[in-house]
Amino acid sequence: MQEFRLPDPGEGLTEAEIVTWRVKPGDTVHVNDVLLEVETAKSLVELPSPFEGTVEALLVDEGQTVEVGSPIIRVSGGDADAVETTQDTADTVEKDEDGGAVLVGYGVRGGAETRRRKPHTVRSVPAPTQPVRPASVPAASASPVIAKPPTRKLAKDLGVDLAAVAGSGLAGEVTRDDVVQAAQQATVFRNLQAPEWSGGREERIPVKGVRKVIAQGMVDSAFTAPHVSVFTDVDATRTMEFVQRLKASTDFAGVKISPLLIMAKAILWAIRRSPQVNSTFTGDELVVHHYVNLGIAAATPRGLLVPNVKDAQDLSLLELATALQQLTATAREGRTQPADMQHGTFTITNIGVFGMDTGTPILNPGETGIIALGTIRQKPWVVDGEVRPRWVTTVGGSFDHRAIDGDVISRFVADVAAILEEPALLLD
């Protein structure tokens, strides 16, 4: 009889929540078979079996949070000579060749060769199974839906009915952007509805996992770093024109282009002129980073995540657009790896996608600056003494006043605004 104890998934955590058991008592399991999914503070992780044999008992219920080292499953039988496993090896965490955390629990076969378990993988969080059709989406037609397999999978994950989406592809096919837009419209439609309260007068939701880490991080940031926030309105008409030209360019075919791309490039440009905003204040020294790991705050089903594009300063406009697309898609699908959220140096939060003009964002812990991009909408604007309709946005930002003074902050935000007003400055 062998007990499998909850290992540390390589993130230095002390506990995890049992999300889904993949086996039940009586099942036969082999080495590397996935036993269960657990949710840590950063990701969903599959735990493979270090044993062979028959499942005797599941010692922990789904939804229960347990400490690392606690017994969670009991397995009996199997080929004891082929798989000799001790708790020491079951709890070991090693690093693979790429530096990622790998759970080890196989023991030694024949007393000579150590077998390594497959790396744990991040699983996508299940999306709603019942699609919600927004009022603006036309009814499904009888004609077959044209969509590539990845697009169909994304639609399934986001709960989008492909038959209800008008395809914008050259052959009328439904594209990834069509699916994302339909999901966003469905979200707005759901938000406009007033659901009935159910389940009594109050609901109590345990604060754990990602939500617990977010809460602690925001408290630590808000009450450690003295925030100062600044705002400026920007005529982003030329940015919108530039975005349309990029969308029409064959070089950017298949890549999502939005004003966020120009904002990201503007920040990279402005950081070179004011490098102190891309720093970490330690108390004893100011560590100015000569690279930019650019974080993008992303609202996901698991909460607010801030994955970052590593060494964004070295990327071309096309490379940056591709990286942003991959980063946001991975975050929405719940597949962001813990390493992708570490070592960020500066963050963008795009609150404009929620219709907000501006805000006072809280710094990502360990960073000195964060920029908020507000919604871009047509407003009356004075141009050459005449009032004209222009595309206007508000750029806001929060900064650690221990690290940088008001003049540096103001110059940095003004530089970002200048690029949004005239993207051609990026060519300088």
- Taking only the tens place, the pLDDT of each residue in 69-110 is 899 999 988 654 334 433 343 333 333 333 433 343 333 333
Q: What is the pLDDT of residues 103-131, one digit of tens each?
A: 433 333 333 333 333 444 444 444 444 44
1 pLDDT band, cuts 50/70/90, is confident
Q: Does residue 303 carry a pLDDT above 90?
A: no
Q: Does residue 224 carry a pLDDT above 90?
A: no
Measured in whole angstroms, how far is the alpha carbon of residue 123 from the centre of its chain? 13
Neighbours of 184 (CB within 10 A): 14
- Rounded CA-CA distance 379/216 in Å is 39
pLDDT at 109: 31
pLDDT at 12: 63
Identify the three-state secondary structure at position 37.
strand
How distant, in Å, are the alpha carbons of 18, 69, 193 from that of 22? 11, 20, 36
Selected catalytic residue, list 120, 289, 343, 401: 401
- Rounded CA-CA distance 166/138 in Å is 8
pLDDT at 193: 59
3-class DSSP string for 52-100: CEEEEEECCCCCCEEECCCEEEEEECCCCCCCECCHHHHCEEEECCCCC
Q: What percent of the chain has pLDDT over 90?
A: 43
Identify the three-state secondary structure at position 103.
strand
Q: What is the pLDDT of residues 234-257, one digit of tens each?
A: 999 999 999 999 999 999 999 999
Which of 10-19, 74-83, 274-283 has the weakest average pLDDT?
A: 74-83
Q: Does residue 141 carry a pLDDT above 60?
A: no
Q: What is the pLDDT of residues 17-53, one digit of tens each?
A: 888 899 999 999 998 888 998 877 656 778 888 888 9
195 pLDDT band, cuts 50/70/90, is low
pLDDT at 143: 66
Which of 11-15, 146-150, 330-334, 412-416 has the weakest average pLDDT?
A: 11-15
pLDDT at 56: 92
Per the annotation, the verdict on 120 as an active-site residue is no
What's phi and psi for 326, nearest 5 deg?
A: -65, -40
Q: What is the mean pLDDT of residues 354-360?
A: 89
Query: Which pairs with CB-CB distance under 8 Å and at least 24 residues apart come from 159-166?
Result: 159/127, 159/128, 159/129, 159/130, 159/131, 159/132, 159/183, 159/186, 160/131, 160/186, 161/131, 161/133, 164/131, 164/133, 164/137, 164/138, 164/139, 164/140, 165/137, 166/137, 166/138
pLDDT at 128: 41
Q: What is the pLDDT of residues 156-166, one digit of tens each?
A: 888 888 888 88
H helix or E strand, kind and range, residue 44? strand 44-48
Q: Are the beta carbons of 26 and 54 closer than 8 angstroms?
A: yes
3-state helix, strand, coil in the chain (%, to 5): 30, 25, 45
